[in-house]
């Protein structure tokens, strides 16, 4: 194994390429979490940027299934896949909540209706009556006309700080390129893998 580039920088170069090509959902990532007992679950969330020393960020309802699983077991993995450029990048690592200040900054950039939805949604809980849910949304919308929508305490951001990464690049005849990255106290080590 050899010391090599930070995989975050490698990721950002492919991310920018996918973005520049205007690929659909270029910012979507599959996030895998697990319960304390190791029962996994996965879903697609939106990548919201890199915070130096903290990692890959995303936002959600803390009371959602992923929020509860991250509270029990703060290890997670995420995968970005862009078929058009034949690139997949995955990360594994520790996840922690972002500060209230960081979550507030992002909250203020969200569309107003998305903010309102974040307030009224009891994400992942059984919905007994969709009409009542929509009514609650509209009532809050009218109640807060001309007022700021405050970020609820049950909603905010997380950062996944990677200690492992893998870059897969599609090549003809299934002779793909795979690069594994591992982090230790001295930094990142890179190793090429068989496809």
Alpha carbon 79 to its chain centroid, in Å, reads 9
Model confidence, pTM: 0.91
Contact 143, 137 (CB under 8 A): no
Confirm whether 36 is a catalytic residue.
no
- Find the catalytic residue in 43, 130, 174, 178: 174
Question: 76 near 33, Cβ under 8 Å?
Answer: yes
Q: What is the pLDDT of residue 5?
A: 79
A 10 A CB-CB count for 56 gives 24
Greatest pairwise CA separation for the chain in angstroms: 60
> 21-34 in b/e burial notation, b at 16+ Cβ within 10 A?
eeeeebebbebbbb
Q: Residue 2 has what pLDDT?
A: 59
Identify the pLDDT of residue 144: 96
What DSSP string describes 42-88? EEEEE---EETTTEEEEEEETTSHHHHHHHH--EEEEEEEEGGGTEE
Torsion, Cα 59 64 70 73, to 10 degrees, reads -170
Domains of the chain: 2-193 (2.30.110.10)
Rounded CA-CA distance 96/78 in Å is 14
Give mean pLDDT in consecutive 10-residue pieces for the chain, a chain of 195 residues: 78 97 97 98 97 92 97 98 98 98 97 96 91 96 96 97 98 96 93 96
């Amino acid at each position: 194994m050899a010391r090599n580039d930070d995989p975050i920088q490698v990721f950002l170069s492919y991310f920018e390429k996918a973005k520049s090509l205007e690929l659909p959902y270029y910012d979507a990532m599959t996030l895998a979490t697990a319960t304390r007992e190791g029962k996994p679950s996965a879903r697609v969330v939106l990548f919201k940027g890199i915070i130096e020393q903290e990692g890959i960020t995303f936002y959600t309802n803390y009371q959602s299934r992923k929020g509860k699983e991250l509270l029990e077991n703060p290890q997670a993995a995420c995968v970005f896949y862009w078929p058009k450029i034949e690139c997949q990048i995955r990360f594994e690592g520790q996840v922690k909540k972002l500060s209230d200040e960081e979550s507030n900054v992002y909250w203020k950039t969200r569309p107003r209706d998305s903010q309102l939805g974040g307030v009224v949604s009891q994400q992942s809980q059984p919905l007994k009556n969709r009409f009542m849910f929509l009514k609650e949304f509209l009532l809050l919308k009218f109640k807060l006309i001309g007022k700021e929508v405050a970020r609820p305490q049950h909603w905010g951001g997380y950062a996944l700080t990677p200690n492992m990464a893998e870059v897969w690049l599609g090549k003809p005849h299934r002779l793909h390129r795979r690069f594994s990255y591992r982090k230790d106290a001295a930094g990142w080590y890179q190793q090429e893998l068989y496809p």
